Structure 1
Amino acid sequence: MTSRNKRRRPVGDMFPGMADRIEKRPPKADAEPEALTLDEAIARSYAILDRVLAAFPVVATIGLFSGGNDSVVVNHLFRSRVDAIAHVNTGTGIPETTQHVRDVVAAWGLPLHELRPRHSYADLVMGRVLSTRGKNIGRQVWKGFPGPAGHSVMYRRLKDEPLQRLRGQIIGRHGRTRNVVYLGGMRWAETDRRFRNAEEVDREGALIWVSPIVHWTDAHMREYRTRHRCNLPHEHAEHQLCWPDALPLNEVTVHLHMSGECLCGAFAKPGELDEIEFFYPHATKPLRELQQEAQDAGLTACKWGQRPPGQRKGRRPAGRLCAKCDGIEGQNDLLAEWRESGLITSGQYDTFTRTDEQRAA
């Protein structure tokens, strides 16, 4: 068993009401992880936000809702304690995920800030976005489809800039005398990167990033979903909102095991576009068309999800809202599940799991 799997596994067989913890101490944790029941983990989550609200002059608490499994839990948990929900519509994602967020937030009776980037993904890929600052003024911000080295540019332009703009709209020029809290769903148990870098509270000027479920284990997440999601043998309401307080379910996460709200492709796996296309061809059509445009324009990096030639494989920060962008494991296992359950045929499984070299042969 690897150290990573050992760290993330439950302490023992988990049943409702049992305690669980992360085995090793995350580098940015204040203390050694405690074994907590789900109710104790929830109480600690509330205490994290209470501590921030007591320490800083906060004018707005905003839940960040990507449509993914972890973000829906944190927003469901705090839906009565936030002022609004924010969703970044990157323009590259699966439309069903954005619609899921709209419908759920409306059902909760909360305001929704649906944010969009100033510049489109297509303009970034085609090199039509020019820098307006510093020594690089007038130069292309990026050109071609991004690999890992381009992820920071895509994250900053597609996600972070809209959120920074919202923060500016809320506080104006009041700076540190007024603060905005963004609640996110990062957890130490998600990935190695999150284990190393996530923390309960991360202050960035007048913006305070809070991860109130950072200490939750996978077992806590499973128990919370079992407790609040409708599992009755009946025809479910849309998004599985079968009663007012039910935990919603995004169909996209069932099919793809990710929210799909951003398909920049920087950390894409081989065959990922084919997988997405199987369920959501309308979402991949613009990306296929953009590939053709990039190829016609003679761009070197003209293929979505493929590391540009000469780009070194490195470990770069994935960004606060990109928990699943790097280090996703078990994709072939997921495809095998689809094959066994009849979602895909054996031929489709073979197509999805071929490497680029095998496809070209």
Structure 2
Amino acid sequence: MSRHRQPEPNLPYGYVDDVPIEHDPLNPHPEHPTPIELVLALTRSERETRLRALIELSWRKYEQAISEHAGDKNIVATCSLVSGGDDSYTVANVFRDVTTHHVHANTETGIEATREFVRHTASSWGLPLIEHRPNPGQGYFDLVRGNVMARSLKTGELVRAWPGGFPGPAAHAVMYQRLKQRALARVPHDLGISGSRSDRVVFIAGRRRPESKVRSTVPYADPEGTILWISPMAVWHKADLRTYRLMFPKIPRNPVARTLGMSGECGCLANAAPGEADRWRTAYPRDPFILKVGEVEAEIAHRVDIPDHRKRWGWGGAYADPDEVEQFSRNAVCSGSCGGEDPLLDIMDPLFEVVA
């Protein structure tokens, strides 16, 4: 049992700092993640007990979200969002009984074997896959070349959506919005319910509060037009996801994720860890995306309108940020886990070993 309070900047929902929270890792708090040191101290048997409590909590939060936000609506589909990584398929497996579709945002910045894995898994589970990618001329390499235009909300003029070059941490939001968010927003159109007042599609997402400062306040339910986002595993730690896979070893695992330690789908590397780009190149030197990265690096190498530090893919983890805005974003907006790695757990958690 622990009386633990997170630092003020991470407090979800505005709880005052002088109100203590009693944490029992075997009976997880429904709003505040258990301190990771308490989870790491559990035996395997205790972790399994904790996991059963988390699964029950997640289902309760899922059902509550449906009741509160879609109780009087017609739910046309319940979609598990899958990236190709281990964590997304763990979430999908927990809610497999209610899932009607898999949804994959193909950002065109990943290893082709991951996309093949996503398609094969949906087929083997007997579920239709909705897969979207950026529109022609609006993709990652178009952004890197500085060719994508957008209308300024301030002036109404057409300006570059991104000034060009490979993105660093400050550009993560731009890349996410352009490459992933827009793809997911097209799903209601696929289902014929765009703009509907009575129909809803449910997105089951794997967003978790321990992942980063940005996600530390992620809600269990987040209605967004015809989409009802549900993050039923918001208080799970990565260690809990691994415990689930230990108990249910038949969950399919993407070989790319085992090699890279991440899904291998989102390779914009705006939040790259040091050495991450080299790891991708070494593991998949002949992959079409990796080859294209090399081509575009050579293409923009002599452009004077692109700063030198943005001429190299994954520069954010390889060099000190020369731009103070980039540095602030890296420290304040996203923790290292945004890149898909969890060094603390990989090193300190003896129950789970990363397969190299």
TM over 0.5: same fold?
yes
Q: Which runs of 5+ in 2 are unaligned?
A: 1-5, 8-32, 348-353
Identity of aligned residues (%): 33
RMSD, aligned α-carbons? 3.1
* Aligned residue in 2 for 1:122: 141
Residue 93 of structure 2 aligns with which residue? 76
1:358 aligned partner: none
CA contact (8 A) 1:258 1:324 kept: no
* Alpha-carbon distance in structure 2 between the residues aligned to 1:167 and 1:73: 24
The superposition leaves residues 247-274 of structure 1 with CA deviations (integer Å, 9 ceiling, x where unpaired) of 1111122111111211112111232211
Per the normalisation by structure 2, the TM-score is: 0.75
- SS of 1:325's equivalent in the other structure is helix
1:259 aligned residue (244, 263, 268): 263
**Conserved in 2, the CA contact under 8 Å of 1:184 and 1:212?**
yes
Cα separation, partners in 2 of 1:11 and 1:173, compared to 1, 3 Å: closer
Quote the offset at 1:157 in angstroms: 0.5
Determine the C-alpha separation between the residues in 2 that align with 1:126 and 1:278.
Answer: 24
Quick check: 1:97–1:259 contact (8 Å CA) kept in 2? yes
Distance across 1 between alignment mates of 2:338 and 2:41: 29
The change in CA–CA distance for 1:51 and 1:255 in structure 2 (over 3 A counts) is same
> Does the 8 A contact of 1:70 with 1:186 survive in 2?
no
Give runs of aligned pairs for residues 28-177 of structure 1, distance below 5 A: 37-55=50-68, 56=70, 57=73, 58-118=75-135, 119-132=138-151, 134=153, 135-142=155-162, 143-177=164-198
Note the 1:1-361 alignment, pairs <5 A. 7-11=35-39, 13-18=41-46, 37-55=50-68, 56=70, 57=73, 58-118=75-135, 119-132=138-151, 134=153, 135-142=155-162, 143-194=164-215, 196-229=216-249, 246-281=250-285, 282=287, 283-298=289-304, 299-300=306-307, 301-307=310-316, 309-312=322-325, 313-315=327-329, 324-325=337-338, 328=341, 330=343
C-alpha offsets along residues 179-234 of structure 1, whole Å, 9 cap, x if unaligned?
2211111222334443x2322112222222111112223443232111111xxxxx
- Indicate the residue corresponding to 2:16 in structure 1: none
Q: Return the letter of the residue paired with 2:141.
A: A
Aligned partners of 1:85 and 1:112 also within 8 Å: yes
Q: CA deviation at 1:150?
A: 1.2
Which AA in structure 2 matches 1:304? Answer: W
Instruction: Give the counterpart letter for 1:127 in structure 2.
Output: G
1:178, distance to aligned residue in structure 2 (A)? 2.0
**How far 1:136 moved relative to its partner?**
4.5
- Cα deviation for residue 54 of structure 1 reads 2.4
Distance 1:6 1:14, change over 3 A: closer
Question: How many angstroms does 1:15 deviate by?
Answer: 3.8
Match of 1:237 in 2: none
| Whole-Å separation in 2 of the counterparts to 1:288 and 1:277 | 10
- The number of aligned residues is 301
Normalized against structure 1, the TM-score is what? 0.74
Alpha-carbon spacing, 1:274–1:154, altered in 2? closer, same or farther (3 Å): same
Conserved in 1, the CA contact under 8 Å of 2:54 and 2:236? Answer: yes
Q: Secondary structure at the match of 1:199?
A: coil
Secondary structure (helix, strand or coil) at the match of 2:159 reads: coil
What amino acid maps onto 2:167 in structure 1?
Answer: P
Counterpart in the other structure of 1:25: none
What's the counterpart of residue 31 of structure 1? none
Q: 2:269 touches 2:339 (CA, 8 Å); kept in 1?
A: no
